[in-house]
Amino acid sequence: MPDSRLTLELLDDRTACYPGETINGVASWEFPHPVRRIEVHLCWHTEGRGTEDGSVVETVGFDAPTPVGAEPFRLPVPAGPYSYDGRLIAIRWTVELIAVGVKDLARVSITISPTQEPFVLPAT
């Protein structure tokens, strides 16, 4: 039985965005059998010493998709939180493509900040 395949492509392969922009991309997939729903999430999560926190900020969903297909999506980028690399905490943004009932997923890491670079603490 062939495996599922999910792919995320961002417009112009842009993985760095300004707050307030919109992320444009295309989600494509191949499933050996029909799935109920496909979702594209814009989410942030923390890494580092603290227990992980996370939040799904935006979701675009496609109900009853064809087993093989592709759809464009637009995700508005919020004002924050900025991508961040600190001493104890890091904040990472990702765009994820998941299908309900399927373990596989596609994920693209992105950077959101006014400089399009993560805020990094100066070395002390």
**Can residue 60 be called a binding residue for another protein (CB under 8 A)?**
no
Give the shortest CB-104-to-another protein separation in angstroms: 10
CA distance 92 to 109: 7
Q: Which of 5, 7, 11, 18 binds another protein (CB under 8 A)?
A: 18
Residue number with CB closer to another protein (7 or 55): 55
List binders of another protein among 83-102 (CB under 8 A).
84, 86-89, 91, 94, 96, 98
DSSP the chain: -PPPEEEEEEGGG--EE-TT-EEEEEEEEE-SS--SEEEEEEEEEEEESSPP-EEEEEEEEEES--SEEEEEEEEE--S-PPPEE-SSEEEEEEEEEEETT---EEEEEEEESTTSS-EEPPP-
- Pick from 9, 10, 62, 80: which binds another protein (CB under 8 A)? 80
Check the CA dihedral 93-67-4-99 and report its sign. Answer: positive
CB of 56 to another protein, least distance (A): 5
Judged by CB under 8 A, does residue 57 bind another protein?
Answer: yes
Please report, as ranges, the residues that interact with another protein according to CB under 8 A.
18-22, 39, 41, 43-58, 76, 78-82, 84, 86-89, 91, 94, 96, 98, 103, 105, 107, 114, 119, 121
